[in-house]
Amino acid sequence: MNTATPHAWRHWRLERHADGLAWLTLDRADAAVNALSAEVMAEFSAVLDALQADPPQGLVIRSGKAAGFIAGADVDEFSELRTPGQARALVERGWHLFNRLAAVPYPTLALIRGHCLGGGLELALACRYRLAVDEPGTSLALPEVMLGIFPGWGGMRRLPALIGPPAALDMMLTGRPADARRAAALGLVDAKVPPRLADAAARAQVRSGKAPRRARGPAGWLDLWPLKLLVERRALRQVAAKDPQGHYPAAAAIVTLWARHGGNALRAPDIVDRILTSDTARNLLRVFRLQERLKTNGKPAADAAPVRHVHVVGAGTMGGDIAAWCALKGLAVTLQDQDAARIAPAIGRAADLFARKLKDPRAARAAADRLTPDPAGAGVARADVVIEAITEQADAKQALYRAIEPRLKPGALLATNTSSLSLATLRQGLAQPERLVGIHFFNPVAKMPLVEVVRAGADGGDAQARACAFVGQIGKLPLPVRDAPGFLVNAVLAPYLLEAMRCVDEGLAPETVDRAMTDFGMPMGPLELADTVGLDIAMAAGRQLTDQAESPRCLSERVARNDLGRKTGRGFYAWQGGKPGKGQAGTPPAGLALRLVRPLIERAQQQVRDGVVADADLADAGVIFGTGFAPFTGGPLHYHATASAPAARTTDQAAATPPAAP
């Protein structure tokens, strides 16, 4: 292909080809991923100036990064918003620039490979055509609502017009991504293309002369007045049902901006001011940063080889589900238990997971082929990581380690999924005790993003770092913690659950106690959580982690009756079909939520002081991603600090103010 000398800015590279097409590549300088910073956007405006002076016959926009197309706006710039004027200027910048892109006289195409998120998708929506490369990692989404904000650069206008309001609102209100196949099925892209044909397909599409795609039929009609008001009413009801306390106002704002303002946030400056400078947006941005910090823990050393084979010992709920997740993520997995009959239920659950997550039957079959029942434990000798997930008895675990340690290949990690036992105790008797590390998953494995990676002793740092890299490799968030009872997450949950049970002993209905915390913003109440974990486990953890000589009466009575929660069908609630049967919840007494959350906060502070986690930010990250602690608060310690600050300021002011004259 003949090309002219490329025209390069700092972040953009423009190449004009002999066939009249221009190829514009974004390769943000000094960054691993493309993000639309103010500087990148200003240069893009200069690119459009150059193309306006000498228009091409068509323009293809692509990425120069292996990581993906565009990850969105530069989130660092959101953290700098302090005034309504700054917020409006940020919206104006992208809105006007992408409108300018949409209005150019030549055909434009976004060639999407890898992630295309937020402002990146809004840029792609402003093009006449979009192609998605059909390969793992291609993902299109408008996830702004997860940061407490809205897609203000044209996404709220263009996405409903392209795929219809129902599908568009679903994407915008959930942040749910679409892979290349789903994007093509929705009409979000004109086609999905194989990697080897991507450039040729882009060239053909941008020269095709085809009209831009738009939603047709009933889906398109719903984007018209007054039908969109009916959609708005229904969508707002759904938003209110999911968030009755209004902790996350961006979702309702998205619906209103689309329905009442044509997707143009600049027509509603009050909404821009209220949402972009809100505490919720700041706190959710904080949560995003915490998540990115955990991901950084999961990056391997430059010279480290990836894990290829995992051997799991114990095919119970946790062990079987850990094995299934590793196979889902592309690893060869051998699963060991006493006999094939004990392994069979785990294989069945794995098949359900693969079908649900992968959709494509061929991909599901490939994942199933990677998971091998191994009653004899032959996989131990080949595995890069061996994960023990047997009964919580130290003697049994130590006996297993003695049997398998001589068979481990050099450099293999030995990991335990224990949630309560001391690694210092478990490593006794090992020839190489420094290679034992805790890799503590949470139940259900497929849904819980956090994994605690536990180091026992100062000599376990290398094993912990390698285990963190393995956790990152399988798509989880690794939290490094020090060996201590309950580590972080279980240690902070125990006093929280016990305080909720004391409320029941005092006469409050379980439904009322749980409502206090769901109103606070928790995904489920503490008593429903205790039922889910198992009341016998909650009792044992309470005794171990809180020095409780006597358990709450309501807990002891239920355990004595063998009413252990979800697994026996009855605990604080009667369970049927995996759902708790709840009566009418009363109005929680004033201050109940704060009473319940206080022991959780105090224990989190204690774990930081004791060095179980490195700092308060990591403690917040662990509790958010390990328990679902209300993200809009920014985490328990951040919530405590920010909630206490106004009170402290008021007290200081009162102390400094002389009394009024009588």
Report the catalytic residues. 419, 440, 452, 490
Alpha-carbon torsion (136, 137, 141, 146), positive or negative = positive
Instruction: Single out the residue of 498, 499, 488, 497 nearest to residue 607, CA to CA.
Output: 488
- Beta strands across the sheet bearing 309-313: 371-373, 332-336, 309-313, 385-388, 413-416, 436-441, 450-455, 477-482
DSSP code per residue over 3-15: BPPPEE-SSEEEE
Cα(283)–Cα(269) distance, integer angstroms = 22
Cα(534)–Cα(336) distance, integer angstroms = 25
Tokens 């025209």 -> residue: 7
Tokens (6 digits) for 283: 């706190």
Q: Which long-range contacts (CB under 8 A, 24 or more apart) does 368-371 make?
A: 368/327, 370/327, 370/330, 370/331, 370/332, 370/333, 371/323, 371/324, 371/327, 371/333, 371/335, 371/347
Cα(507)–Cα(514) distance, integer angstroms = 14
Residues in the chain: 662
Q: Tell me: cis bond preceding 105? Omega within 30 of 0 counts.
A: no
Cα torsion 129, 205, 358, 220 to 10°: value is 40
The angle at the Cα of 33, spanning 28 to 35, to the nearest 5 degrees, equals 65
Tokens 């459009």 -> residue: 48
Whole-number CA gyration radius for the chain: 27
DSSP code per residue over 346-412: HHHHHHHHHHHHH-SHHHHHHHHHHEEE-TT-GGGGG-SEEEE---S-HHHHHHHHHHHGGGSPTT-
Cα torsion 68, 74, 79, 83 to 10°: value is -140
Strand partners of residue 581: 574
